[in-house]
Amino acid sequence: MRLVLLGPPGSGKGTYASRLNIRLGVPHISTGHIVRDEIKAGTELGKQIRRYSDRGGLVPDEIIIEMLQARLDRPDCAKGFILDGFPRTIPQADALGKIAEIDLVINLNVPDEIIIQRLSNRLVCRRCGAIFNTLTLKPKKDLICDECGGELYTRDDDRPEVIKERLTVYRRETAPLIEHYRNKELLKDVYCDDLKTSPEVIVERIISIVSNLGLLQP
Ligand SMILES: [Zn+2]
């Protein structure tokens, strides 16, 4: 089960992926996490990545692909994986196609108003990075992390005007990718039109698609 999750920032990709991995028995692989781990571990690759981001540039595709390939070669990916945050462009999809055959691409469709509502109410813990939401996942105490007692804050790029810009960039970049996978008949749409729909409901929708395609592993 080699699954790619596509969806705009704030669509809940990470949340769904971390629940799907338990249900599907394959690891959740986020290129964002891999990059952060390499930087944290101070590997040669991590240092290279840091040089790019210190200069305000994007990490080149070759580096991301190299890291991803190393990750997908690990034994826990033998039965597959759930890929979150990659690919974002056609060249990345082509590169991915050379290192892994994708079974299914889930395209999360979430209206902008819902994303803006969700992200602008998001709170992040300064200490451990746990995520809360004043609408859907309130911390037990105001502005205090349930996990570690750290302080919760609103990230700069979760302000509505910044979210709108991020969505515009996402739609421009990803529209061709959606077409690319649709043409290959690998893409299935999942709709989340209501802020109150729980993650479990969306996860069940994805599982039933996987199951209907005969991709569920015993
Ligand atoms: Zn915390």
pLDDT in tens, 131-153: 898 988 899 999 999 999 999 99
In three state form, how does the secondary structure of 64-123 look? HHHHHHHHHCCHHHCCCEEEECCCCCHHHHHHHHHHCCCCEEEEEECCHHHHHHHHHCEE
Q: Can you list the alpha helix ranges (DSSP code H) found in the chain?
A: 13-24, 31-41, 44-54, 61-72, 90-99, 112-120, 160-183, 199-212
Q: How far is CA 203 from CA 5, 139, 140, 161, in A?
A: 12, 23, 25, 29
pLDDT of residue 90: 92
Catalytic hit among 159, 166, 188, 205 = 166
Catalytic hit among 19, 71, 118, 122 = 122
Long-range contacts of 65-73 (CB under 8 A, 24+ apart): 65/92, 65/95, 65/96, 65/99, 67/31, 67/34, 67/35, 67/38, 68/29, 68/31, 68/34, 68/96, 68/99, 69/99, 71/29, 71/34, 72/29, 72/99, 72/100
Phi, psi of 44 (to 5 degrees): -55, -45
Tokens of 4: 């790619």
The answer to whether 120 and 163 are in contact (CB under 8 A) is yes
The answer to whether 108 and 205 are in contact (CB under 8 A) is no
Alpha carbons 13 and 190: distance in angstroms, whole number: 12
Catalytic hit among 23, 50, 88, 188 = 88
pLDDT in tens, 80-120: 999 998 998 999 999 999 999 999 999 999 999 999 988 89
Is the dihedral angle over the CA atoms 193, 183, 89, 205 positive or is it negative?
positive
pLDDT in tens, 9-49: 888 888 899 899 999 999 999 988 888 888 889 988 889 88
Whole-model pTM: value is 0.85
Instruction: Give the Å distance between the CA of 191 and the centre of ligand 1.
Output: 31
Instruction: Give the Å distance between the CA of 139 and the centre of ligand 1.
Output: 10
pLDDT of residue 10: 86
Instruction: Note if 23 is an active site residue.
Output: no
Instruction: Note if 122 is an active site residue.
Output: yes
